Copies of this chain bind each other. A is one copy, B any other.
Amino acid sequence: MARNRIRLSEVAREAGVSPATVSRAISQPDLLSPETLARVRRAADHLGYRPDAAARALASGRSMTIGAVMPTLDNAIFSKALQAMQAQLAEDGYQLLVASHDYSKAAEAECIRTLLARGIDGLILVGAERIAEAAQLLTQSGLPVVMTWCAPDGAPSVLVDNEHAGLLATRHLIGLGHRRIGVITGATRFNDRQRGRYRGVRLALEEAGLTLPPALACEQATTLAGGRMGCAQLLDLAEPPTAIVGGIDLIAIGCMVEAQARGLAIPADLSVAGIDDLDMSAHVSPSLTTVHVPTARIGTEAARMMVATLRDEPGPTTLTLPVDLIVRRSTGPAPARG
Contact = CB atoms under 8 A, between A and B. Distances in A.
A96 B61 CA distance: 21
Contacts of A337: none
B97 A228 contact: no
Nearest to A284: B257
Interface stretch (A47-55, A153-161, A207-215, A236-244): A47-55
B72 A83 contact: yes
A73 B80 contact: yes
A119 B57 CA distance: 11
Contacts of A76: 74, 76, 79
Nearest to A72: B83
Contacts of A283: 224-225, 228, 254, 257
Nearest to A261: B285
Interface in A86-120: 86-87, 90, 95-100, 114-120
Contacts of A284: 224, 257
Contact of A260 (B73, B98, B117, B285): B285
Interface residues of A, number: 60
Contacts of A38: none
Interface string A253-268: 0100100110000000
A58 interface: yes
A23 interface: no
A143 interface: yes
A256 to B, nearest CB: 8
A77 to B, nearest CB: 10
A41 interface: no
A223 interface: yes
A98 B257 CA distance: 34
A62 interface: yes
Contact of A83 (B3, B73, B80, B114): B73
A117 B98 CA distance: 18
B98 A65 contact: no
Given A95-B118, A223-B279, 12 more contacts: A1-B63, A2-B141, A2-B143, A53-B119, A54-B58, A74-B76, A76-B79, A82-B98, A86-B98, A95-B114, A224-B284, A261-B285
Interface of A: 1-3, 50-55, 57-58, 61-65, 72-76, 79-80, 82-83, 86-87, 90, 95-100, 114-121, 141-143, 223-225, 228, 250, 254, 257, 260-261, 279-280, 282-285
